């Protein structure tokens, strides 16, 4: 059976009906929102974090690049001003229309400096995940058989990836580069010298780091359940990405 395709009008109607926008905004104002969002999603810096495609042969983020059609949608010749977005695109875009005025999303679009990154990111994830749940009923009516939990997890990963735009993740990226640099220096050593260096230098320290990290994660679970849920979600998504590599 041919999959249903969606244009801008349908996406706006989905946002109004399921995103609790009701008639607070006119269709014209919501179409302006949607056009701004589409321009944002098509920016190279945004495509980089959503697609995570390092080379032409690299499939990158499989779900966004293969299951979705957001940045590849073209105008349908048979319908005036219609686009061939699929139902996943429609839910993703409708969610962003509803989240248009969310502070972090607004700053990311306008490339405004983000001062309290952790708090802004946490607020964004809580609000975006909550908003996404409003579309579960629509997915049960129009979905392609994929479990809602699977769909939601993948869309939540796209919400998260938006926080990886350069202004948000510069410091975190620097830390990762340092850690990778250590591993890149360690890796070329022969097995003999790896073992020798590990026993002389790393053994006690790495055990302590692992213990401290485990303790830190345990504290998240006990005292910051929302952050812990976010951590576990990203952990699962990383495993999914590995399976597709």
Instruction: Give yes or no for residue 239 having a pLDDT over 80.
Output: no
Q: What is the C-alpha separation between 57 and 122, in angstroms, rounded? A: 34
Convert the pLDDT of each residue in 124-182 to its tens digit.
999 999 999 999 999 999 988 899 999 999 999 999 999 888 666 665 677 788 888 99
Convert the pLDDT of each residue in 62-80 to its tens digit.
888 888 888 765 544 444 4
Instruction: Give yes or no for residue 81 having a pLDDT over 60.
Output: no
CB of 105 closer than 8 Å to CB of 124 = yes
CB of 60 closer than 8 Å to CB of 53 = yes
Share of the chain above pLDDT 70, in %: 84
Instruction: Give yes or no for residue 2 having a pLDDT over 60.
Output: no
Q: Which residue in the block uniquely carries the two structure tokens 């809602």?
A: 148
Q: Quick one: average pLDDT of 82-102?
A: 90
Instruction: Please report, for residues 34, 128, 161, 171, 201, the alpha-carbon distance to residue 100 in angstroms, rounded to integers and kept in the order given.
Output: 9, 10, 17, 26, 51
Provide the pLDDT confidence category of residue 91 given band limits of 50, 70 and 90.
very high
Instruction: Give me the pLDDT at residue 22, please.
Output: 61
Instruction: Give me the pLDDT at residue 60, please.
Output: 55
Instruction: Give me the pLDDT at residue 176, please.
Output: 81
Is the pLDDT higher at 113 or at 97?
97
Is the pLDDT higher at 100 or at 244?
100
C-alpha radius of gyration, the chain, whole number: 21
HSE at residue 154, side-chain half, CA atoms within 13 A, is: 21
Instruction: Give me the pLDDT at residue 236, please.
Output: 83
Instruction: Give yes or no for residue 202 having a pLDDT over 80.
Output: yes
Domain ranges of the chain: 8-166, 189-244
Going by the DSSP 8-state scheme, the letter that residue 133 receives in this structure is G
Whether this model's pTM surpasses 0.85: no
Provide the pLDDT confidence category of residue 84 given band limits of 50, 70 and 90.
confident
| Cα–chain center distance at 139 | 19
């Amino acid at each position: 059976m041919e999959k249903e395709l969606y244009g801008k009008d349908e996406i706006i109607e989905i946002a109004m009906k399921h995103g609790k926008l009701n008639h607070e905004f006119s269709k014209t104002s919501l179409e302006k929102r949607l056009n701004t969002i589409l321009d944002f999603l098509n920016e190279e810096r945004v495509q980089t974090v959503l697609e995570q495609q390092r080379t032409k042969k690299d499939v990158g983020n499989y779900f966004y690049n293969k299951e979705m059609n957001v940045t590849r949608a073209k105008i349908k010749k048979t319908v005036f001003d219609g686009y061939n977005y699929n139902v996943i695109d429609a839910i993703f875009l409708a969610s962003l229309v509803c989240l248009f005025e969310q502070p972090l999303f607004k700053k990311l679009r306008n490339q405004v400096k983000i001062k309290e990154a952790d708090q802004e990111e946490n607020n964004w994830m809580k609000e975006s995940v909550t908003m996404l749940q409003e579309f579960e009923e629509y997915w049960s009516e129009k979905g392609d058989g994929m479990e809602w939990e699977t769909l939601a997890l993948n869309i939540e990963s796209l919400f998260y990836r938006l926080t990886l735009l350069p202004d948000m993740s510069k410091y975190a990226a620097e830390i990762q580069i340092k850690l990778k640099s250590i591993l890149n220096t360690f890796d070329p050593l022969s097995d003999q010298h790896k073992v020798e260096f590990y026993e002389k230098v790393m053994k006690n320290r790495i055990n302590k780091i692992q213990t401290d990290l485990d303790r830190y994660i345990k504290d998240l679970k006990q005292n910051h359940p929302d952050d812990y849920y976010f951590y576990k979600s990203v952990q699962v998504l990383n495993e999914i990405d590995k399976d597709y590599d």
